[in-house]
């Protein structure tokens, strides 16, 4: 290695030698420190971080109140395993999630570590409660990288690869997509056809749906679609599971995205921004459903770690005391107006869309429809050179998504839109 090489070059070489290629790193950046919506790499370069650990940092990097909560908890009790003994932070997080999701109805929560773990346990719980085995998910949905997670995920690459055989009795139905002219009525008609041709509804344990598809392209489910799923699930005795792992905790303008549709889910999976960067997930559901598994059927050594729970309590306090939902709504309007203005200027942007502060642009070819994944990647790379970090999503990997923290300032957001404009000008000119 050249003695004059930048620190990042040496570390990226170390990564190449020691980390398998199967885990990608979206940017050739090695982070050193961060605060709020800003991040600095080991070479000293500043970035606006509009990835936020892939939607994990709604309260921003290293929020002082989260940092202090973690510091205090580490000094008192770092880990005990809830399966061995109870501890107060776990109980308080469960109680607060039950109130937030249940709205006063009897709900219970089990805490885990990752989003995929939450999804898998939600399916276990639904199967136990209904004594049924089939699960319906949706094309374009993403539910994790475990074997069941990738089976539930509604697109093939890069997640399924040659990892099969996959678990059985998982079925996929169409998801509404305004840009691709798939209406709620069409998606629901296809779901009814699936009941007639592939799996009878009385054998379906759960319907699993993201209220806004995350990795599938930031596609919001129309309220009437979620309302119809709620009615259908109730009619057939199916557990309706809302995957709020990316949409939860203020990302869409409400604490949870299902609130936009005015429905009450049976079970909700949460993770990502729950604990401000600490690994914590949960399954929150109606008490009678959550109590279906027998003792010992749920758990995990690190699930509901005390330090992560302390961070989560600080995050929930921030939402209650610092008006983050209202701040996110103001930022959402600014971002939406900025992206819509860019769409008018650049024909390569087929659609600017989203819900709340969960927004994206879809990059297309000259016909205005065909996905252009290469162009999207070029824009992402140029944005990084300008100082803005974003990542892609979508079944065709042609959608650029924005997951800035809710503590981003209006000036930082304006700066980010300028950086994006600069990148688009260079790539699309």
Alpha-helix runs per DSSP H in 110-222: 115-130, 147-152, 184-197
Contact 405, 324 (CB under 8 A): no
C-alpha 170/C-alpha 151 separation (Å) is: 7
Residues 26 and 136 in one domain: no
Residue 46 lies in a domain: yes
3-state secondary structure of 317: helix
> What is the tally of structural domains in the chain?
2
Same domain, 166 and 302: yes
Q: Is residue 134 part of a domain?
A: yes
Cα angle at 269 between 26 and 173, to 5 degrees?
80
Query: Is residue 182 within 8 Å of residue 217, measured between CB atoms?
Result: no
* pLDDT value, residue 199: 97
113 with 251, same domain: the answer is yes
Number of other CB atoms surrounding residue 74 within 10 Å:
13
Select from 321, 345, 369 the last residue of a domain. Answer: 321
pLDDT of residue 335: 98
Is residue 314 situated within a structural domain? yes
Query: Among the three residues 273, 295, 321, which one is the final residue of a domain in this structure?
Result: 321
Give the CATH number of the domain where residue 413 resides: 3.90.1150.10
Residue closest to 332 by CA, chosen among 362, 318, 352, 310: 352
Could you identify the residue written with the tokens 């054998």?
203
| pTM (two decimals) | 0.96
Q: What's the token pair of residue 19?
A: 């980390």
Q: Which of 321, 355, 386 is the last residue of a domain?
A: 321
Q: How far apart are CA 278 and CA 289, in angstroms?
A: 27
Q: Residue 53, preceding bond cis, omega within 30 degrees?
A: no
Beta strands in 42-156 (DSSP E): 46-49, 107-112, 134-138
Find, among 140, 136, 336, the residue nearest to 221 by Cα: 140
44 and 116 share one domain: no
Residues 6+ apart with CB under 8 A from 298: 110, 121, 124, 125
| Residue 246 covered by a domain | yes
280 and 262 in a common domain:
yes
Q: Which pLDDT score, from 0 to 100, does residue 1 have?
A: 43
- Averaged pLDDT, groups of 10, the chain, 429 residues long: 73 94 94 98 97 97 98 97 96 98 96 98 98 98 96 90 92 97 97 97 98 97 98 98 98 98 98 97 98 96 97 98 96 98 97 98 96 98 98 97 98 98 94
In a domain, 11, yes or no: yes
Asked if 248 and 283 touch (Cβ cutoff 8 Å), the reply is: no
Q: How far apart are CA 120 and CA 167, in angstroms?
A: 12
253 and 350 both lie in a single domain: no
Please report whether residue 299 resides in a domain: yes
The tokens for 376 are 């999207």
SS3 368: coil
364 shares a domain with 405: yes
Using alpha carbons, select from 60, 65, 41 the residue that is nearest to residue 50. 60
Residues 277 and 194 in one domain: yes
According to DSSP, the residues that pair with 355 across neighbouring strands are 358
User: Residue 4: its pLDDT value, please?
Assistant: 61
> What is the DSSP secondary structure assignment for residue 73, as one 8-state letter?
H
193 plus 336 within the same structural domain: no
Of 210, 217, 216, 221, give the one whose Cα is nearest residue 182.
221
Q: For residue 57, what are the domain limits?
A: 7-62+323-428
- Are 253 and 204 contained in the same domain? yes
My answer on whether 315 and 333 are in the same domain is no
Torsions phi, psi of 240, nearest 5?
-95, 115
For 161-257, strand residue ranges (E) read 170-173, 204-209, 212-213, 219-220, 239-243
The verdict on residue 1 lying in a domain is: no
Q: Which CATH number characterizes residue 111's domain?
A: 3.40.640.10
Spell 348-381 as b/e; 16+ CB within 10 A means b: bbbbbbbbbbbbbbbbbeeeeeebbeebbbbbbe
Distance CA 109, CA 80 (A): 18
Distances (CA, A) of 428 to 271, 338, 345, 385, 399: 37, 17, 10, 16, 15
Closest alpha carbon to 171 in 210, 201, 212, 127: 201
Contact 356, 331 (CB under 8 A): no
375 lies in some domain: yes
**Residue 98: which H helix or E strand, with range?**
helix 88-102
Nearest in space to 218 (alpha carbons), one of 327, 339, 97: 339
What is the token pair recorded at 124? 């276990």
Same domain, 193 and 289: yes
């Amino acid at each position: 290695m050249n003695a004059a090489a930048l620190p990042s070059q040496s570390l990226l070489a170390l990564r190449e030698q020691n980390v398998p290629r199967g885990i990608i790193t979206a940017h050739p950046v090695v982070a050193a420190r961060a605060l709020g919506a800003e991040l600095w790499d080991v070479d000293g370069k500043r970035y606006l971080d509009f990835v936020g650990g892939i939607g994990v940092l709604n309260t921003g990097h290293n929020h002082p109140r989260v940092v202090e909560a973690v510091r205090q908890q580490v000094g008192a009790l770092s880990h005990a395993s809830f399966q061995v003994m109870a501890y107060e932070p776990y109980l308080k997080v469960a109680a607060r999630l039950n109130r937030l999701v249940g709205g006063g109805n009897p709900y219970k929560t089990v805490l885990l570590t990752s989003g995929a773990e939450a999804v898998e346990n939600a399916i276990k719980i639904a199967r136990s409660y209904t004594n049924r085995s089939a699960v319906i998910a949706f094309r374009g949905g993403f539910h994790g990288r475990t074997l069941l997670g990738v089976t539930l995920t509604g697109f093939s690459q890069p997640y399924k690869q040659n990892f099969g055989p996959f678990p059985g009795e998982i079925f996929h139905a169409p998801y509404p997509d305004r840009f691709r002219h798939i209406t709620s009525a069409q998606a629901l008609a296809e779901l009814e056809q699936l009941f007639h041709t592939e799996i009878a509804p009385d054998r379906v344990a759960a319907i699993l749906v993201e209220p806004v598809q995350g990795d599938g392209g930031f596609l919001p489910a129309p309220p009437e679609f979620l309302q119809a799923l709620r009615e259908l699930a109730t009619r057939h005795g199916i557990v309706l599971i809302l995957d709020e792992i990316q949409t939860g905790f203020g990302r869409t303008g409400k604490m949870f995205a299902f609130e936009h549709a005015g429905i009450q889910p049976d079970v909700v999976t949460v993770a990502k921004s729950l604990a401000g960067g600490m690994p914590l997930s949960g399954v929150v559901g109606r008490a009678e459903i959550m109590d279906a598994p027998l003792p010992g059927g749920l758990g995990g050594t690190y699930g509901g770690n005390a330090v992560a729970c302390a961070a989560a309590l600080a995050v929930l306090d921030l939402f209650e005391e610092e008006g983050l939902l209202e701040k996110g709504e103001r930022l959402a309007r600014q971002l939406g107006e900025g992206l819509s203005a860019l769409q008018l200027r650049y024909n390569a942007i087929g659609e600017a869309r989203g819900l709340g502060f969960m927004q994206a642009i879809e990059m297309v070819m000259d016909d205005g429809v065909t996905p252009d994944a290469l162009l999207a990647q070029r824009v992402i790379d140029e944005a990084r050179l300008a100082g803005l970090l974003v990542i892609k999503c979508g079944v065709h990997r042609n959608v650029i998504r924005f997951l800035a923290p809710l503590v981003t300032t209006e000036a930082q957001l304006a700066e980010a839109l300028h950086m994006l404009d600069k990148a688009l000008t260079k790539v699309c000119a």
